[in-house]
């Protein structure tokens, strides 16, 4: 089996990171190559939830169903896929960190299991490093997505001696503009 792992500090509170990871329908905003994802089960996201990813494995379109098999709020979740080309178990672990949240992602997988020993060699020589690189890139995109989202939230100054002043951070800037 193949294996990839990476960790990164995400500069956001653990609740924000957790909620973003659980917002399956918006993961395409920060996951590399993901065209869309949609929930298949109704109700709150958690253990036994099922969702579908629509992405690409190189030039090959992939439609992958994932099931949440373990769910420990604000700490850990395990996603399992029984895809024919890339059956995988992805574990997301979160813990508080001084600058935000430490996010660790691990993926156990089998690349093209029907290829037999060729698959194992390909995993060892290429896929493990490539998948680790994708995990790092996804975590970096998640961090940027959350920082950008935080910058675009409304800021309200409600000092009692002044009327309420609404400001909005300009996109991709540290400057603010007044909103009437």
Tens-of-pLDDT digits for all 180 residues of the chain? 899 999 999 999 999 999 999 999 999 999 988 999 999 999 989 999 999 999 876 787 889 999 999 999 999 999 999 888 889 999 999 999 999 999 999 999 988 878 888 888 888 888 899 999 999 999 999 999 998 887 665 444 344 444 455 555 555 555 656 666
Q: DSSP assignment, residue 20?
A: H
- Which H helix or E strand runs over 44? none
- Domain locations along the chain: 2-153
Q: Say if strands 34-39 and 2-10 run parallel, antiparallel, or are unpaired.
A: unpaired
59 closest CA partner among 84, 78, 33, 36: 33
78 closest CA partner among 64, 96, 63, 93: 93
Q: Phi and psi (nearest 5°) for 79?
A: -115, 135
Q: Is 106 helix (H, G, I), strand (E, B) or coil?
A: strand
DSSP for 146-170, written as a single string: HHHHHHTSEEEE--TTS--EEEEEP
Q: DSSP assignment, residue 87?
A: -
Classified by CATH at the fold level, domain 2-153 comes out as Alpha-D-Glucose-1,6-Bisphosphate; Chain A, domain 4 (3.30.530)
């Amino acid at each position: 089996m193949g294996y990839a792992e990476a960790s990164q500090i995400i500069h956001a509170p653990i609740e924000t990171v957790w909620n973003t990871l659980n917002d399956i329908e918006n993961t395409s905003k920060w996951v590399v190559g993901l065209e869309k994802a949609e929930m298949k089960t109704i109700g709150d996201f958690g253990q036994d939830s099922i969702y579908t990813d629509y992405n690409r494995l190189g030039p090959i379109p992939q439609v992958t169903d994932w099931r949440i098999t373990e769910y420990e709020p604000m700490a850990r979740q395990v996603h399992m896929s029984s895809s024919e080309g890339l059956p995988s178990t992805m574990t997301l672990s979160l813990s508080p960190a001084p600058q935000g949240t430490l996010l660790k992602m691990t993926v156990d997988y089998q690349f093209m299991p029907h290829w037999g020993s060729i698959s194992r060699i390909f995993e060892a020589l290429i896929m493990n490093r490539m998948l680790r690189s994708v995990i790092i890139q996804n975590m970096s995109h998640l961090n940027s997505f959350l920082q950008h989202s935080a910058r675009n939230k409304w800021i309200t100054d409600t000092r009692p001696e002044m009327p309420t002043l609404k400001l909005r951070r300009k996109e991709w800037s540290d400057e603010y503009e007044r909103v009437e």
